[in-house]
Chains A and B, each alone.
Chain A
Amino acid sequence: MGYLGGFLVSLRQIGRKQRVTTQYPKEKAPKPARVHGRHVLNRYEDGMEKCIGCELCAGVCPARCIYVRGADNPPDDPVSPGERYGFVYEINYLRCIHCDLCVEACPTEAITESKMFEFSFTNRADAIYTKAELVVGDDGRPRKLPWEDWRPGEDEMTSAWMRATAPSGDARFEGVVGWSSELGYGLRAPEADQETKDKRTTAPEMIDEHGHGPDPHGDPGHDGLSHDDGHGGH
């Protein structure tokens, strides 16, 4: 057909049932496991806050949207297990660019990001989240505000990406727990090693060639994102 062949290509699209469009507000595309959304401040399993008020997150923030003031823990009623705790913690979401550098900087995995990014506020006060909104509730789940559009699953697995790169963890972190336990989730199971993950996505003959056996840890859920409390570590 030469020059006119392209006309058939576009004509064939007519009447197809499957379209590339996602009808956004009605149906929502699945989010990647490590999407950067609204932050949460995590707590240990005993309810203590992980934040130690070191202000590293505020220092690394390129948008300068984080404001932290540390204070000494009251000896009779400590907020965090360390010497100091985050006395004031504010994030201005009118400035935040969700780069996740604060998550990388945090030495205690206190600040992580959920997968919820659909929130819209109508005044400045709502846009500045304080500790009251950021710290997770007693069940370990993020607090849900009326103007936030949470969908099932977004409040779980808030810290998957952080676990892979946090200084306290193993950079390859294959089958190794390199992170602390979390309120409501306990110590989460480690991610499968890369060979196992490759096997899941490559053809069977490739696996035989490499000669790797099945994953000794079993399937740790969706790339280590499972969160059953009893199944803690090795």
Chain B
Amino acid sequence: MLGGDPLLAGDVDLAVVLIVLLKVVVVFALLLVATMLMIWFERKVVSDLQNRIGPNTAGPFGILQTLADGIKFFFKEDLMPEQAQRRVFILAPLLTVVPAFLLFSIVPIGGDFSNGGDGSVELFGHTTYLQLADPPIGILFALAMSSLAVYGVMLAGWSSGSKYPLLGSVRASAQMVSYEAALGLAVCAVVLTNGTLSTHQMVVEQAGDGWGSFIPNWNILIAGFVPFVVFLLASQAELNRPPFDLVEAEQELVGSYHTEYSSIRFALFFVAEFMNSVTMAAIIVTLFLGGPAGPTLLGPGWLWGVIWFFLKTVAFLFLFVWIRGTVPRVRYDQLMDLGWKVLIPLSIAWLLVLAVFHVARDQHWNGLVVVGAAAVIGLIFFGLLRLAITTSKANRLEEAVD
């Protein structure tokens, strides 16, 4: 029940409990430090992209800026609006932060996956994985946690007793519900390809050599580029990052759901947001780029797992910041159009195509016929979708004229 981690397979004695506790502490500290550095990294890179300087006073290259900000937040006055629902108001920031922490527990952050290794390492005489938990439901847990986070945003906006936070939280719930579907369908493609929900098992599946033994066996190539792009876009919307940050569009909603928050409660929202960015990058790496899997150059294999994981995650974090620094915020109808009319149909279609190919491979059907039939059916459905969209648009226009 506790998952595939060999640590928990045998008798659970004190040493095992201590190892698990150690992992908890390490992951907790790692995530906090990573979040701190991510905030600095984001500010620094986005200022580079915009030809500014960014934080440069606290510590070398301003790396301690986040620490300084955090200390400042602790010492600021904690205000509560008179109209606020007191308990919910206090609960809401915690509801965003706790799932953000839990989300990272299923991410494999290291391990030796080279030469057919299953990524287990020896830790104090016990064999274990370099990840906090490996539940059999793995990636579903991640989806559950990322949807739980919307409750924090929603309740924060509602309990503030103020109009802009309420508008922001309404936007947040609509946006997150829309993009959750695309996110889940993109994950489905990976699950279908790897045949597992466990994140660790996904990495093991991607670890081997692919075609020609030098192209990696990553899901971005095997499950296709489409689920990867869909997941990347949907994750940006799920994280409320620009260009999908309508939830906290400053020009329209002041600060949206956190307008009425101050002091450390306000900081918790931001910590959660950046923590989720780090985690989402790690999950993309796990799902599509083989996580810690990669060649061992020299030294111990588990160390290279950590290095590959770190490099891939940082590359994605840079991509996140790059997107933020380049693309302007979309309009709300564009956001909904992209979610419902592009990403969801695209990921459903791709999932079906992927399923057909899997069945065709198992049944030894003629490949050419399968591809041709898939293309024809795909075109028909694309035409039907366009027809439906244009018809409903014409109907709406007609109503508007009347």
Q: Is B48 engaged at the interface, CB distance under 8 Å to the other chain?
A: yes
Q: Is B357 engaged at the interface, CB distance under 8 Å to the other chain?
A: no
Contacts of A18 in B (CB 8 A): 51
For A13, give the chain B residue with the smallest CB separation: B51
C-alpha gap A162/B45 in the complex (Å): 46
Q: Is A29 engaged at the interface, CB distance under 8 Å to the other chain?
A: no
Contacts of B325 in A (CB 8 A): 10
The residues in B between 99 and 139 inclusive whose CB is less than 8 angstroms from any CB of A are none
For A20, give the chain B residue with the smallest CB separation: B51
Q: Are A19 and B49 within 8 A (Cβ)? A: no
Q: Within the complex, which residue of B51, B53, B326 is in contact with A6, where a contact is CB–CB below 8 Å?
A: B326
Q: Are B53 and A19 within 8 A (Cβ)? A: yes
Q: Are A10 and B322 within 8 A (Cβ)? A: yes
Chain A positions 82 through 95: 1 when the CB is less than 8 Å from some CB of chain B, otherwise 0 = 00000000000000
For A23, give the chain B residue with the smallest CB separation: B53
For A9, give the chain B residue with the smallest CB separation: B326
C-alpha gap A18/B48 in the complex (Å): 11
Chain B positions 318 through 345: 1 when the CB is less than 8 Å from some CB of chain A, otherwise 0 = 0000100111000000000000000000
The residues in B between 285 and 341 inclusive whose CB is less than 8 angstroms from any CB of A are 322, 325-327
Contacts of A202 in B (CB 8 A): none
For B54, give the chain A residue with the smallest CB separation: A21
Contacts of A16 in B (CB 8 A): 51
C-alpha gap A223/B87 in the complex (Å): 65
Contacts of B327 in A (CB 8 A): 6
Q: Are B52 and A11 within 8 A (Cβ)? A: no
The residues in A between 159 and 215 inclusive whose CB is less than 8 angstroms from any CB of B are none
Q: Are B326 and A21 within 8 A (Cβ)? A: no
| Shortest CB distance A41–B (Å) | 40
Q: Is A14 engaged at the interface, CB distance under 8 Å to the other chain?
A: yes
Q: Is B50 engaged at the interface, CB distance under 8 Å to the other chain?
A: yes
Contacts of B322 in A (CB 8 A): 7, 10-11
The residues in A between 1 and 32 inclusive whose CB is less than 8 angstroms from any CB of B are 6-7, 9-11, 13-16, 18-21, 23
C-alpha gap A7/B51 in the complex (Å): 14
Q: Are A11 and B49 within 8 A (Cβ)? A: yes
| Shortest CB distance A17–B (Å) | 11
Main secondary structure of the interface of B (DSSP, over half): helix
Q: Are A20 and B52 within 8 A (Cβ)? A: yes
Name the interface size band of chain B: 10 to 19
Contacts of A19 in B (CB 8 A): 51-53
Q: Within the complex, which residue of A7, A10, A23 is in contact with B50, where a contact is CB–CB below 8 Å?
A: A10
| Shortest CB distance A130–B (Å) | 37
Contacts of A15 in B (CB 8 A): 48
C-alpha gap A9/B325 in the complex (Å): 10
C-alpha gap A225/B50 in the complex (Å): 37
Contacts of B50 in A (CB 8 A): 10, 13
C-alpha gap A137/B322 in the complex (Å): 56
C-alpha gap A10/B49 in the complex (Å): 5
C-alpha gap A6/B50 in the complex (Å): 12
Contacts of A20 in B (CB 8 A): 51-52
| Shortest CB distance B244–A (Å) | 16
The residues in B between 380 and 398 inclusive whose CB is less than 8 angstroms from any CB of A are none
C-alpha gap A163/B327 in the complex (Å): 48
C-alpha gap A21/B46 in the complex (Å): 13
* A14 and B52 contact, Cβ closer than 8 Å, known pairs A6-B326, A7-B326, A9-B326: no
Contacts of B53 in A (CB 8 A): 19, 21, 23
Contacts of B47 in A (CB 8 A): 21
C-alpha gap A126/B382 in the complex (Å): 74
Contacts of A10 in B (CB 8 A): 49-50, 322, 325-326
Contacts of B51 in A (CB 8 A): 13, 16, 18-20
Contacts of A13 in B (CB 8 A): 48-51
For B325, give the chain A residue with the smallest CB separation: A10
For A8, give the chain B residue with the smallest CB separation: B326
The residues in A between 36 and 74 inclusive whose CB is less than 8 angstroms from any CB of B are none
| Shortest CB distance A25–B (Å) | 10
C-alpha gap A23/B327 in the complex (Å): 27
Q: Are B49 and A14 within 8 A (Cβ)? A: yes
Of the candidates A6, A13, A16, A23, the one having the most CB atoms from chain B within 10 angstroms of its own CB is: A13
C-alpha gap A6/B322 in the complex (Å): 10
Contacts of A6 in B (CB 8 A): 326-327
Contacts of B52 in A (CB 8 A): 19-21
For B319, give the chain A residue with the smallest CB separation: A7
| Shortest CB distance A141–B (Å) | 34
The residues in B between 20 and 66 inclusive whose CB is less than 8 angstroms from any CB of A are 45, 47-53
C-alpha gap A23/B322 in the complex (Å): 24
| Shortest CB distance A70–B (Å) | 48
Chain B positions 348 through 374: 1 when the CB is less than 8 Å from some CB of chain A, otherwise 0 = 000000000000000000000000000
| Shortest CB distance A9–B (Å) | 7
C-alpha gap A16/B326 in the complex (Å): 17
| Shortest CB distance B54–A (Å) | 8
Contacts of A7 in B (CB 8 A): 322, 326
A-B contact pairs, 12 of them (CB 8 A): A6-B326, A6-B327, A10-B326, A11-B49, A14-B45, A14-B48, A14-B49, A15-B48, A16-B51, A18-B51, A21-B53, A23-B53
With A7-B322, A21-B47 given, can you name 19 additional A-B contacts, CB distance below 8 Å?
Answer: A6-B326, A7-B326, A9-B326, A10-B49, A10-B50, A10-B322, A10-B326, A13-B48, A13-B49, A13-B50, A13-B51, A14-B49, A15-B48, A18-B51, A19-B51, A19-B53, A20-B51, A20-B52, A23-B53
Interface residues of A (CB under 8 A from B): 6-7, 9-11, 13-16, 18-21, 23
Q: Which 5 A-B pairs have the closest CB atoms?
A: A10-B49, A21-B53, A10-B326, A13-B51, A14-B48
